[in-house]
Amino acid sequence: MDAEDLLLRQFLGIRDEELTKATAEWIRSQQRDDGTWSTFYGGPAELSTTVEAYVALKLAGDDPGAPHMQAAARHIRDSGGIAATRVFTRIWLALFGWWPWERLPEMPPEIMFLPRWLPLNIYAFGCWARQTIVPLTVVSAHRPVRPAPFALTELHTDPANPFPQRPLAPPTSWDGIFERLDKFLHAYHRRAVRPLRRVALAQAARWIVERQEADGCWGGIQPPAVYSLIALHLQGYELEHPVMQAGLAAFDRFTVHTEDGMRWLEACQSPVWDTCLATIALVDAGVGADHPALVSAVDWMIGEEITRRGDWAVQRPSLAPGGWAFEFENDNYPDIDDTAEVVLALRRVAHPDPGRVSGAVGRAVDWNLGMQSKNGAWGAFDVDNTSTLPNKLPFCDFGEVVDPPSADVTAHVVEMLAEVGMADDPRTRRGVQWLLRNQEEDGSWFGRWGTNYIYGTGSVLPALVAAGLPEDHPAIRRAVRWLEDRQNADGGWGEDMRSYEDPENWAGRGDSTASQTAWALMALLAAGEGPQGRANPAVERGVDWLVRTQLPEGTWDEPQFTGTGFPWDFSINYHLYRLVFPVTALGRYLNGTPGIGTLAGSVPRIGAAR
């Protein structure tokens, strides 16, 4: 993202030396010893990231003959060169003529005309993907090329043949079918009906502008924002236009300036998610449910409730709104996961205006129930967003582009429904049955939005117990055994991002981290292991690890990335996870797991359990 920020500014003609220097310093600081860059702490070399970082440093004036640049270029060539990078990297290079547009997959803006009942309409994609793809259809139609400030010959494996053709997959395979469809779309690009193309571009631009949030961003995340700015600029929006000004200003709010003069960008910001998790942690740890800080947090969360329709209403046009987004401003895309966790947080606090709280809770419960997919589970943003076709498009090699139901989101909704007294509701039971059907053979659950099987299992076990499954249920016992088996020798738990690519070797395996140790403990405690249930040495060793590794200021060190945007392709380090989840786990160890349906304020205060 830092490299792409420099490329965006180069494309728009607004890159300045001070910003470039600070960003380049950060990029250099993240280079691995072998000259490459990875996408998460301790991860392996990643080719596309290395290419983009190399180009950004060359923009910043780094000498290609310098040792750190030579090492990067050598790895790039050894890994197949620019030709082996992902589509999005080659799109960035095509903007400056370093890669031909003709050698990129085509995605025409006429996709805007496809009705919802046809495959590959824009609502067949997950919300993050559609917000990225719509502006990229505009970019693809314009095929702009800015003057390249330098050549990239050194990044090709064969400079005499820098843009090799890839062989087509067999025509009977899905890859082969879509590759041949792509050839047709390239031919259509050359012969597109101009009036139709103009209408499609105008409709796409209007769609983009309508989804700009109040803070100027799109979707509260970086990828849609950068491509939306490029697309609108190509459609004639000058840099002085309010839409463009607001979009560029939004990046300033994502920017972190370090004390030593470096600059880097956040992928997104998670204030709603952080606030509800912190509220749960504090109450579970024994802070009084009427504490002014918690009442203030509830007031803020209720103020963030989204009461207007967004893209989710395309599939649920008659459903009344009532949910929360992840970010400060993302009213087009409230999400089911945040909404469930906010309800759990609201229910824990003794607010002086309980009617106001119960109104928000009621709207949220109704909205989440209305967003249940037909298989009984829940995705993050949309209903029944389960088509497998979008992931097969040659254009879509940048991570997950659909939003099918997941175990972690479904578990949070089930836990929330149990909390509001709906454990026996048929819709809750359908969610429970989906979770039981989707347990892995080894006893764990896959984690879509956190890493990975530890997160999935840490989400599901508390939900199943809250929904009434007995602690001796076979599914719960298998999960407990899996967690016990995955505990590290030091007493903690950890899981590397590589479990998404190689679960056989990495599922539940990795350096111990505070957040993942806490997830495992929360699951075991919910399953009846620990001081209020069965004496379990695994629980005692896990708690001991958290106690031993806590820093003097009260938090934990966690450079590892334990969250995901797209599993494996887009990894996230949530800086509050290292604090909220250990506090939650330790609080539940001392005070017991929260009782379902208990009145707010009835939990013990700090010290009461001691």
How far does CA 521 lie from the centroid of its chain? 24
Catalytic residue among 337, 338, 403, 408: 337
384 has catalytic annotation:
no
Cα dist. 36→31, 74, 141 in Å?
Answer: 6, 10, 33
Question: Which residue, among 407, 413, 412, 399, has the nearest Cα to 452 in the 3D structure?
Answer: 407
Neighbours of 454 (CB within 10 A): 32
According to DSSP, the residues that pair with 268 across neighbouring strands are 221
State CA 118 to chain mean position distance. Answer: 27
Which run of H or E residues covers position 486?
A: helix 474-486
CB distance 197 to 307 below 8 Å? no
Q: What residues have CB less than 8 Å from 278, skipping those under 6 apart?
A: 297, 576, 580
Which residue type, as a one-letter code, is found at position 30?
Q
DSSP 224: H
Q: How many CA atoms lie within 13 A of 416 on its CB side?
A: 29
Q: How far apart are the two ends of the chain, measured CA to CA in Å?
A: 47
Eight-state DSSP code of residue 120: T
User: Running DSSP on this structure, what letter comes out for residue 44?
Assistant: P
DSSP 22-41: HHHHHHHHT--TTS---SST
Nearest in space to 31 (alpha carbons), one of 88, 58, 71:
71
Active site residues: 337
